[in-house]
C-alpha cells in the first residue's frame, strides 16, 4: 500500500456524478452556504457583505491599479450604478463584455468559449439569479477545482472609479453577469491581481472539469482539422494563444494574447475547398486584417451558400484560414466532456477514476527517475487493464488517457509555485504492494509524459494491451511538496490501487 497520507481517496465515475463535489452537489468554498446566507439576509432585510472577500484594497491586490487609483476605488452595488440592473440581458453572449484594467484575457477568452455551451454555462453561472426576485446582494457561481466542483459565494459590491467599473464590464450598461463571474473567480484565486496573466487552459478546465488537451500548432498533425471539427460539434471549449511580446502586429493580432476559437467551417472558393477557423478577441475589438478577414476580397469568390459566414463588424471576431491559424498562433487548448472528441475514436464511453495524493517532504516527494533510490519513494499506482471490447475502427487509436494535476498549498494563485511534474508507466510482471528501487533499475518503461513541465496539468494518450502496469507520478526534483490529482480514463475497466 502507498505510504500514509499519499493516496487520500479514490473517486469512481459514479461518485464524480453524484457525490460530494459533483456539479449537483458542490462543495462549499470556504464553508460558505449560499442558501443559508441568503435566507438570513432576506429574513433580516439585509444586503450581504462577504466577510471572506471584503470590498477593500486587499481584494484587488497590487498590480492592476496604481496606488493613486487604488485609493479612488469605491465599491458599489449594481443598483448604485444604474437604475435597473439585470443579471443577464437577452441571453449571455461572447459579445456582452469588454476586458477591463486587468490582464486576464486568458480568463475572458475562456468565458467567450463558455457562452457557446449553454448547459455548461448554466451550471457555472446559474442564470436564474436576479436583482429583482428575492434580491439580497448575494450571488454564487460554480467552478471545478482540483477534482471537485465548488460553490463560490460573493456579494455584489464591485470596484468602481468615477462611477465606472474598473474591471470587466458589459457593453449593455445594466448587465452584470460578467462582472460578478469575474469577482467570484478572483475570490477563488485570492484577489483580482491574482488573475493577472495566466493560461487559457486553466479557466477552460475550471469551467468544465473535463479532459483537456494542448496542441502545439507548429507540430500539429493532419488530424488537427478533424479534431477541431469534432470539438465544434460537441460540448467542448476551445481557446488559443499567440507567441511573442506585447505588441499589436500589422496583421491586427496581439502578441502573447489569449483568444477564443468560436467555430470552424469549410467554404468553396473558386471551386476549391478552404478550411477556416473563427477566432474571437476578448477585448471585444481588434481583428485579423489579412486573408478571410471581415473585409477580405476572398469573400466575393465563395459560393453563394458560403456568404453566410461573412460578417463585417468590429466586434473582435474574425475568420482566417487553417494555414494562417497554425502559422500565427502557438497553441490550441481543447477541454471537453467526451474523451472521444480528443481521440477521434468511435467507442461510446470511457471509464474514469480519480486519485488524490501528495508528495510529502522527507517521505514521498522522491523526484524524477534520474535518482532511482529517491524516485522509488514516490506514490505508486498499480493499474490492471482488462481486455477492451472496441469498435474495429479503433484498433490503432488510444485506449488510455493519464492526466496529472498539481495543487500548491498556497492560498493565492500568484504565490503558488508550479513544479515541473511528470509520470512514468511501467509494465508489471509480478504483484507487490510497493516496488523498491531495484525494480525500477530493470523495469520496462512503456509510457511517460513527453517532458517535465512547470504547469498545472499534463496529460498523455497511450495504447496499451491488457495487463498490469505501474504509474509513478513525480516532480522533477526531490523534496518538492504538493498535492496532486491523478485521473485515468480508459476504454476498458481499469482497476487501480
Q: Which residue has the cell 484498433?
A: 395
In the residue annotation, 281 being an active-site residue is answered as yes
Q: Are residues 484 and 401 in the same domain?
A: yes
Q: How many CA atoms lie within 13 A of 412 on its CB side?
A: 15
Residue 215 confidence (pLDDT) above 70: yes
Q: What is the CATH number of the domain that holds 377?
A: 2.60.120.380
Q: Are residues 79 and 227 in the same domain?
A: no
Q: Which residue among the candidates 7, 41, 212, 281 is catalytic per the annotation?
A: 281
| The predicted structure's pLDDT at residue 129 | 94
- Greater confidence, 192 or 95? 192
Q: What is the CATH number of the domain that holds 236?
A: 3.90.70.10
Q: Are residues 116 and 184 in the same domain?
A: yes
The percentage of residues in the chain with a pLDDT greater than 90, rounded to a whole number, is 58
Where residue 390 falls among pLDDT bands split at 50, 70, 90? low
Q: Are residues 225 and 92 in the same domain?
A: no
Where residue 348 falls among pLDDT bands split at 50, 70, 90? low
Residue 16 confidence (pLDDT) above 60: no
The percentage of residues in the chain with a pLDDT greater than 70, rounded to a whole number, is 93
Q: Are residues 291 and 430 in the same domain?
A: no
Where residue 9 falls among pLDDT bands split at 50, 70, 90? very low
Per-residue pLDDT tens digits for 441-458: 888 888 888 788 888 898
Could you say which of 172, 206, 240 is where a domain stops?
206
Per-residue pLDDT tens digits for 457-486: 989 999 888 889 999 999 999 999 999 999
**Which residue range is the domain that position 287 belongs to?**
212-335
- Flag whether 25 is in a domain: no
- Flag whether 382 is in a domain: yes
Q: Which residue among the candidates 7, 41, 104, 105 is catalytic per the annotation?
A: 105
Q: Are residues 74 and 217 in the same domain?
A: no
Starting at the earlier edge strand, list the strands of the sheet with 27-28: 27-28, 148-155, 138-145
Per-residue pLDDT tens digits for 42-58: 999 999 999 999 999 99
Judge contact between 204 and 110, C-beta under 8 A. yes
Residue 1 confidence (pLDDT) above 50: no
Q: Which residue among the candidates 257, 355, 382, 420 is catalytic per the annotation?
A: 257
- Flag whether 453 is in a domain: yes
Rounded to 5°, angle at Cα 380 from 379 and 386: 150
| The predicted structure's pLDDT at residue 207 | 93
Residue 224 confidence (pLDDT) above 80: yes
Q: Are residues 357 and 304 in the same domain?
A: no
pTM above 0.95, yes or no: no
Q: Are residues 358 and 481 in the same domain?
A: yes
- Flag whether 278 is in a domain: yes
Could you say which of 306, 335, 364 is where a domain stops?
335
Residue 12 confidence (pLDDT) above 60: no
Judge contact between 292 and 339, C-beta under 8 A. no
Residue 361 confidence (pLDDT) above 60: yes
- Flag whether 7 is in a domain: no
Supply the mean pLDDT for the chain: 88
Q: What is the mean pLDDT of residues 282-305?
A: 93
Helices (H), 115-252: 118-125, 177-189, 200-208, 224-232
Kindly state the cell numbers that stand for 72: 479612488
- Flag whether 427 is in a domain: yes
Residue 2 confidence (pLDDT) above 60: no
- Flag whether 433 is in a domain: yes
Where residue 433 falls among pLDDT bands split at 50, 70, 90? low
- Contact partners, residue 290, CB within 8 Å, separation at least 6: 251, 252, 296, 320, 324
Q: Are residues 36 and 159 in the same domain?
A: yes
Q: Are residues 158 and 178 in the same domain?
A: yes
Per-residue pLDDT tens digits for 125-165: 998 999 999 999 999 999 999 889 999 999 999 999 999 99
Per-residue pLDDT tens digits for 324-335: 999 999 999 999
- Greater confidence, 21 or 3? 21
Residue whose C-alpha is closest to residue 194's, from 73, 63, 50: 63
Residue 234 confidence (pLDDT) above 90: no
| The predicted structure's pLDDT at residue 116 | 86
In the residue annotation, 174 being an active-site residue is answered as no
Domain count, the chain: 3
Where residue 18 falls among pLDDT bands split at 50, 70, 90? low
Q: Are residues 426 and 452 in the same domain?
A: yes
Strands 236-241 and 351-359: unpaired
Residue 259 confidence (pLDDT) above 70: yes
Judge contact between 245 and 258, C-beta under 8 A. no
Q: How many CA atoms lie within 13 A of 21 on its CB side?
A: 13
Q: Are residues 352 and 421 in the same domain?
A: yes
- Greater confidence, 438 or 139? 139
- Flag whether 105 is in a domain: yes
Residue 254 confidence (pLDDT) above 60: yes
Give the whole-angstrom CA distance, residue 464 versus residue 455. 26
Could you say which of 272, 304, 335 is where a domain stops?
335
In the residue annotation, 335 being an active-site residue is answered as no
Q: What is the mean pLDDT of residues 99-105?
A: 87
Q: How many CA atoms lie within 13 A of 283 on its CB side?
A: 15
Amino acid at each position: 500500500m502507498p505510504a500514509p497520507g499519499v493516496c487520500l481517496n479514490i473517486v469512481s465515475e459514479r461518485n464524480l456524478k453524484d457525490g460530494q463535489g459533483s456539479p449537483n452537489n458542490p462543495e462549499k468554498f470556504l464553508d460558505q452556504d449560499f442558501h443559508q446566507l441568503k435566507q438570513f439576509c432576506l429574513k433580516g432585510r439585509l444586503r450581504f457583505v462577504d466577510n471572506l472577500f471584503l470590498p477593500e484594497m486587499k481584494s484587488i491586490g497590487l498590480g492592476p491599479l496604481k496606488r493613486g487609483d487604488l485609493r479612488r476605488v469605491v465599491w458599489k452595488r449594481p443598483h448604485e450604478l444604474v437604475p435597473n440592473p439585470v443579471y443577464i440581458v437577452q441571453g449571455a453572449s461572447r459579445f456582452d463584455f469588454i476586458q477591463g484594467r486587468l490582464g486576464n484575457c486568458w480568463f475572458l477568452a475562456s468565458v467567450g468559449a463558455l457562452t457557446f455551451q449553454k448547459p455548461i454555462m448554466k451550471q457555472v453561472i446559474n442564470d436564474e439569479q436576479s436583482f429583482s426576485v428575492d434580491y439580497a446582494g448575494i450571488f454564487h457561481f460554480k467552478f471545478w477545482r482540483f477534482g471537485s466542483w465548488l460553490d463560490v459565494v460573493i456579494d455584489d459590491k464591485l470596484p468602481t472609479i468615477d462611477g465606472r467599473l474598473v474591471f470587466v464590464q458589459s457593453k449593455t450598461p445594466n448587465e452584470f453577469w460578467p462582472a460578478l463571474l469575474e469577482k467570484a473567480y478572483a475570490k477563488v484565486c485570492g484577489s483580482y491581481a491574482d488573475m493577472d496573466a495566466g493560461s487559457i487552459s486553466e479557466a477552460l478546465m475550471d469551467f468544465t472539469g473535463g479532459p483537456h488537451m494542448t496542441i502545439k500548432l507548429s507540430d500539429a498533425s493532419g488530424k488537427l482539422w478533424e479534431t477541431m471539427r469534432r470539438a465544434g460539434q460537441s460540448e467542448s471549449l476551445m481557446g488559443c494563444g499567440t507567441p511573442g511580446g506585447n505588441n499589436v502586429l500589422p496583421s491586427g493580432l496581439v502578441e502573447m494574447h489569449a483568444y477564443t476559437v468560436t467555430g470552424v467551417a469549410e467554404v468553396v472558393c473558386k471551386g476549391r475547398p478552404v478550411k477556416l477557423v473563427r477566432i474571437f478577441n476578448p477585448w471585444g475589438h481588434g481583428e485579423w486584417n489579412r486573408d478571410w478577414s471581415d473585409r477580405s476580397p476572398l469573400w466575393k469568390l465563395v459560393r453563394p451558400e458560403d456568404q453566410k459566414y461573412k460578417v463585417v463588424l468590429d466586434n473582435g471576431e474574425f475568420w482566417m484560414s487553417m494555414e494562417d491559424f497554425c502559422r500565427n498562433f502557438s497553441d490550441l487548448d481543447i477541454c471537453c466532456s467526451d474523451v472521444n472528441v480528443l481521440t477521434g475514436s468511435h467507442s461510446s464511453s470511457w471509464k474514469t477514476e480519480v486519485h488524490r495524493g501528495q508528495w510529502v517532504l522527507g517521505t514521498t516527494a522522491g523526484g524524477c527517475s534520474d535518482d532511482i533510490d529517491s524516485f522509488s519513494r514516490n506514490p505508486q499506482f498499480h493499474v490492471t487493464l482488462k481486455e477492451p471490447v472496441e469498435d474495429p475502427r479503433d484498433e490503432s487509436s488510444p485506449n488510455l488517457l493519464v492526466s496529472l494535476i498539481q495543487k500548491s498549498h498556497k492560498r493565492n494563485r500568484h504565490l503558488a509555485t508550479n513544479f515541473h511534474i511528470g509520470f512514468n508507466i511501467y509494465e508489471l510482471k509480478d504483484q507487490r504492494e510497493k516496488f523498491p528501487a531495484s525494480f525500477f533499475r530493470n523495469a520496462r518503461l512503456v509510457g511517460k509524459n513527453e517532458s517535465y513541465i512547470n504547469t498545472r496539468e499534463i496529460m498523455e494518450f497511450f495504447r496499451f494491451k491488457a495487463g498490469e502496469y505501474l504509474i509513478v507520478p513525480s516532480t522533477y526534483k526531490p523534496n518538492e511538496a504538493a498535492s496532486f490529482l491523478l485521473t485515468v480514463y480508459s476504454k476498458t475497466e481499469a482497476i487501480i490501487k
